[in-house]
Structure 1
Amino acid sequence: MKVIILGGGVIGVTSAYYLAKAGHEVEVIERQQGVALETSFANAGEVSPGYASPWAGPGIPQKAIKWLMMRHPPLIVKPVPDYYMARWILQMLTNCTAGRYALNKARMVRIAEYSRDVLKDLRADTGIAYDERMQGTLQLFRTQKQLDGAAKDIKVLAEYGVPYEVLDRAGCIAAEPGLGQSTAPIAGGLRLPGDETGDCHIFTNRLAEMAAALGVVFRYGVTIKALQSEGGKVTGVETDTGVVRGDAYVLAMGSFTPHLSRKLGIDLPIYPVKGYSITAKITDANVAPVSTILDETYKIAVTRLGDRIRVGGMAELSGYSANLPPERRATLAHCVNELFPGAGDTETASYWTGLRPMTPDGTPVIGASKLSNLFINSGHGTLGWTMACGSARVIADIVSGRPAEIDVSDIGPSRYD
């Protein structure tokens, strides 16, 4: 079967690889001149299934007001005249209950844990290297209130058998010795020793090479205009270079997925939530992070990637804007310099932004659509790198007519019908 994949980020490329492994003829259409050049380019680098949590939860509306007032805010809202932004915010607010949080987190942990296992198998089978580290992730709490608030997440971790450690300040420093130089308040931390890190851009490019060796065709610099349909199925992809046809189609265009799906009567509530990162050269390895630290106060991750430090995070609702305000860079530099003073050269660090494709319930959209040969693999938010391999295996199974290895009955597009 010929499968056309729309989008060449980490989700599209992993989908292409596993579909090719399943024996299909695969083509990937990507508007950039290579893979992983947008949202997958410079993300925080975490492969953190245990921290797979929806942003919508109890108390979030009240916290959001405080975040908006901070000097270095983790949340920025710049309203634009966009019906879909307003709707997304309202839908997210409806998910800010204890019951919805528990349901959505359970869904997210299920796919994220599976994805990490699939990534491990891929690494063992191919030897793929991407500045990976397997030294866990530490969620850092600056206040006792934050530490106490982790109880609801710990409960879900325990239910799913995810290893974890609750640490005091000394335990945090033992796990990440560079924190010993920090003047930041540290009340404690939640460490997940099974989590990993790695450079998503490097990974995606190397996997694309492996996919090409399996026969996958990559069409770069091609703009997708629309999906053609007739008789309850997709009949082709209209592009600026002509119509591309296949037997099945996988929509993996991140925040731009709804632009195509809505024209087919599939209204997916995926909306861009902008994130930022800086990447700095390590200047003192002795005080640099060992793995990944999640600063709960600023919602920023600080990750060791080889001889670099990636600092990424924040959440900005501003439509599809890709501008790079200097104040966001200042927040990222402030966080890493406070936690790991002298570890990296933030003055010369590269600065990036990406549009994370978020659903209001936090769970990605993976599965068959109401059109018989159109499949969705999108809406992973901040967890595209964490969930990529598992999502791709699931979509390859579904396209191939095989049952997925995990329950995916509640994460498909039909949940929004």
Structure 2
Amino acid sequence: MQFEQSSALIFEYQTDLIGTAENPMTHIAVLGAGVVGVTTAWYLRQAGYDVTVIEREPAAGLQTSFANGGQISVSHATPWANPATPKKALKWLFKEDAPLLFRLRADKAQLKWTMQFLQECRADKADANLVQMVRLGLYSRDALQKLRANIGIEYEQQTRGIMHFYTSQAEFDAAIEPTERMQALGCERYVIDINNAVSLEPALSPIAHKLTGATYTSQDESGNAHLFTQRLAARCVEAGVHFMYDTEIVAINTDNDTDLSTKRPHVHSVTIRPTGENAQTFTANSYVLALGSYSVGLLKPLGIHVPIFPAKGYSATYTVNPRAPHLAPFVSLIDDEFKLVASRLGNKLRVAGTAEFNGYNLDLNATRCEAITRRVQQLFPKGIIANSVQYWTGLRPMTPSNVPLIGRAHCGQVKHGSHNAAATFDNLWLNTGHGTLGWTHSCGSAKAISLLIQGETPNVDFDFVGMSV
């Protein structure tokens, strides 16, 4: 694999960060090597920490980060939990190809999460959650742009903005209020007419007569999250980060005799099991949990209850028609009616979306896959080679509010902004629950958690977990 040219600059920058025998660096273990875990490792290493990343897969970015929609979309901040969703979810309940599908299961965790989700659908809560996601999104997009400028990393990125387009008048009308709300928060999403939409993205010309409206955010971006994750992981290795792949994290181990009236709970080690080996103990000074949907099971034995449930998302990747590449979009698109996003990645078109609540099931559902291709063929019939399609599914770690959990872990029920002063861990940190916006929020979340660990306050007005103690 070829790496970008600025690695020498990284080594030069790192020289004054390396610890000595007399003043060793604090050792931090990052649990998980998806895009959130790898960016976390990068920012911690840049801050001077000794970092080890532990990952059960054989390489970085092979789970939820592998084939997502590819968007850095501050403008896609309207929470799934909003006043319109319950009615839509009921309408879609028994439609196998529905954009949002709750499968009825005898699962207490899913039932509890669903009740919490419905509470977040209130207008006041949906607005508060939108505010949180826009603020974090702006902070994160800026962090990504600065990282890219500093190290010259390439990942099939496009900086042509993101366009929401609408073929339903009702969906377009419903988009006006959140668009104006995002503008007020500093996200430059604006309503544009159909002529402007087609001018910005000529691939929409064949369906121009079906469009009812569009919005456009020029500063949003797209790119290959998997490629970014793997290339940044390689940069991390060059900078001194150690990766332990093919290593399952079995348990997080705490001091059982902690007196919470005098001392915070403390993680002393994690139990790991490298492939083909017996379980063993791994020790660091601090731990950052970035395991997405798989965070729940490791935290529960510690008395930490995070409201994360896996939302199964699908993607389809098509080869762009080499005879008519202009008929596939370059501007990254969001089809709000069908809950799909489309991003141009080199000579491929990635289309992703929908949410299926079906536990940890990773089986590809043919009906849901075919529904994506059917819509793509309606939109760009001559722009892609339909029979080249590669389908994929992954588990997005969804919180009921859609707002991720970033900050210091504490016992009890955890949600963004929550804390339990008597049971806040002194060395366990959370960077998880990013839902559909893990790629969008990854750099900002990683930068923020690095600053929090250093005892600094990130320059973003966000409700971090466990940080008001």
TM-score bin (small chain): over 0.9
Match for residue 73 of structure 1 among 98, 103, 107: 98
Residues in 2 aligned to 1:184 and 1:386: alpha-carbon distance in whole angstroms? 32
Equivalent in the alignment of 2:354? 314
Equivalent in the alignment of 2:250? 225
Q: CA deviation at 1:69?
A: 5.5
Equivalent in the alignment of 2:446? 392
Q: CA deviation at 1:399?
A: 1.2
1:301 aligns with 2:355: no
Letter matched to residue 39 of structure 2:
T
Residues in 2 aligned to 1:167 and 1:116: alpha-carbon distance in whole angstroms? 23
Match for residue 320 of structure 2 among 272, 278, 282: 282
Residues in 1 aligned to 2:407 and 2:373: alpha-carbon distance in whole angstroms? 39
Equivalent in the alignment of 1:366? 406
1:226-248 alpha-carbon deviations (Å, 9 max, x no partner): 00001310000101141110000
Q: CA deviation at 1:224?
A: 0.7
Residues in 2 aligned to 1:221 and 1:347: alpha-carbon distance in whole angstroms? 34
* Structure 1 residues 151 and 65, CA gap change in structure 2 (3 angstroms): same
Letter matched to residue 235 of structure 1:
H
1:251 aligns with 2:263: no
Determine which structure has greater relative contact order: mean sequence separation of CA pairs < 8 Å that are 6+ residues apart, divided by chain length: 1
Q: CA deviation at 1:158?
A: 1.9
Residues in 2 aligned to 1:39 and 1:149: alpha-carbon distance in whole angstroms? 29
Map 1:136-155 onto structure 2 (within 5 A): 136-155=161-180
Equivalent in the alignment of 1:268? 306
Equivalent in the alignment of 2:18? none
Q: Is the deviation greater in 371-380 or in 158-167?
A: 158-167
Q: CA deviation at 1:141?
A: 1.3
Residue correspondences, number: 414
Equivalent in the alignment of 2:7? none
Map 1:127-206 onto structure 2 (within 5 A): 127-182=152-207, 185-206=210-231
1:300-331 alpha-carbon deviations (Å, 9 max, x no partner): 11111111000100100000000001111111
Q: CA deviation at 1:72?
A: 3.8
- What 5-or-longer segments of structure 1 have no aligned partner? none
> Any idea what SS the aligned residue of 2:196 has?
helix
Q: What percent identity do the matched residue pairs reach?
A: 38
Letter matched to residue 456 of structure 2:
R
Q: Does structure 2 conserve the Cα–Cα contact (< 8 Å) formed by 1:181 and 1:341?
A: no
1:151-173 alpha-carbon deviations (Å, 9 max, x no partner): 22123212112222212332221
Q: CA deviation at 1:71?
A: 7.2
* Structure 1 residues 66 and 167, CA gap change in structure 2 (3 angstroms): farther
* Structure 1 residues 203 and 411, CA gap change in structure 2 (3 angstroms): same
Q: CA deviation at 1:119?
A: 0.4
Match for residue 429 of structure 2 among 375, 378, 402: 375
Q: Does structure 2 conserve the Cα–Cα contact (< 8 Å) formed by 1:227 and 1:237?
A: yes
Residues in 1 aligned to 2:266 and 2:385: alpha-carbon distance in whole angstroms? 52
Residues in 2 aligned to 1:290 and 1:342: alpha-carbon distance in whole angstroms? 15
1:411 aligns with 2:464: yes
Map 1:49-64 onto structure 2 (within 5 A): 49-64=74-89
* Structure 1 residues 184 and 319, CA gap change in structure 2 (3 angstroms): farther
Residues in 1 aligned to 2:376 and 2:66: alpha-carbon distance in whole angstroms? 20
Residues in 2 aligned to 1:70 and 1:79: alpha-carbon distance in whole angstroms? 12
1:97 aligns with 2:122: yes
1:26-77 alpha-carbon deviations (Å, 9 max, x no partner): 0000000000000000000000012122111112111222334657410122
Q: CA deviation at 1:205?
A: 0.5
Equivalent in the alignment of 2:373? 333
Match for residue 238 of structure 1 among 256, 271, 276: 271
Q: Does structure 1 conserve the Cα–Cα contact (< 8 Å) formed by 2:179 and 2:191?
A: no
- Supply the RMSD in Å over aligned alpha carbons: 1.5
Residues in 2 aligned to 1:179 and 1:339: alpha-carbon distance in whole angstroms? 7
Q: CA deviation at 1:145?
A: 1.5
> Any idea what SS the aligned residue of 1:33 has?
coil
> Any idea what SS the aligned residue of 1:182 has?
helix
Equivalent in the alignment of 2:418? none
Q: CA deviation at 1:193?
A: 1.1
Letter matched to residue 85 of structure 2:
I
Q: Is the deviation greater in 169-178 or in 391-400?
A: 169-178
Dislocated runs of 4+, deviation >3 Å: 67-72
Residues in 1 aligned to 2:338 and 2:465: alpha-carbon distance in whole angstroms? 32
Q: Does structure 2 conserve the Cα–Cα contact (< 8 Å) formed by 1:249 and 1:373?
A: yes
Residues in 2 aligned to 1:81 and 1:279: alpha-carbon distance in whole angstroms? 33
Q: Does structure 1 conserve the Cα–Cα contact (< 8 Å) formed by 2:89 and 2:102?
A: no
Residues in 2 aligned to 1:317 and 1:185: alpha-carbon distance in whole angstroms? 31
Q: CA deviation at 1:414?
A: 7.7
> Any idea what SS the aligned residue of 1:205 has?
helix
